[in-house]
Amino acid sequence: MHGFGWEWHRDHHEPHNNVLEKNDLYGLVGAAMSISMFALGSPLVLGDAAWAPATWIGLGILAYGIIYTLVHDGLVHQRYFRWVPKRGYAKRLVQAHKLHHATIGKEGGVSFGFILAADPVRLKAELRRQKEAGIAIVRESAGA
Ligand SMILES: [Zn+2]
Ligand SMILES: [Zn+2]
């Protein structure tokens, strides 16, 4: 998303008061892909032309979408519920994604996947390295 997908992802990194972001279009595209796969895999829709593995691909995209909205939109960005984990994996996950938002613009940055939560100390060190090397612009509040 920080490469060719930046055009849609950008406003997720910029402060605003809107309810929706262009970044949410990824969710719509994912839903469309998932629904298409279910149709492709269904004998009810395509009869003998149905391709069974498509159902599993559809389920995979659906599972990703559910995890993304619960973990990224819900837990990390508190778009529709508020629960701040005090310890463990969930807390690290929130910290790691907050550090993903520590850079300004599309260059550099850390923690691109949102499920693998690396040690925040290591992520901060990496941000500091990128800042010093002139690779990324890092917000002061990130503590890097
Ligand atoms: Zn990003
Ligand atoms: Zn985010």
Q: 112 CA distance to ligand 2 centroid (A)?
A: 9
Q: What is the pLDDT of residue 144?
A: 62
pLDDT exceeds cutoff 90 at 141: no
Q: What is the pLDDT of residues 25-77, one digit of tens each?
A: 999 999 999 999 999 999 999 999 999 999 999 999 999 999 999 999 999 99
Q: 105 CA distance to ligand 1 centroid (A)?
A: 9
The Cα–Cα gap between 5 and 7 comes to 6
Q: 72 CA distance to ligand 1 centroid (A)?
A: 11
Q: 112 CA distance to ligand 1 centroid (A)?
A: 7
Q: Of 140, 89, 143, 137, nearest to 114 (Cα)? A: 89
pLDDT exceeds cutoff 80 at 15: yes
Q: Are 70 and 90 in contact (CB under 8 A)?
A: no
For the chain, which residues make up each domain, given as ranges? 6-76, 88-142
Q: 77 CA distance to ligand 2 centroid (A)?
A: 7
Q: What is the pLDDT of residue 41?
A: 98
Q: What is the pLDDT of residues 78-117, one digit of tens each?
A: 999 999 999 999 999 999 999 999 999 999 999 998 788 8
Q: What is the pLDDT of residue 143?
A: 66
Q: 13 CA distance to ligand 1 centroid (A)?
A: 6
Q: What is the pLDDT of residue 140?
A: 82
DSSP assigned state of 137? E
Q: Nearest ligand to the C-alpha of residue 21?
A: 2
DSSP assigned state of 104? E
Q: Are 60 and 38 in contact (CB under 8 A)?
A: no
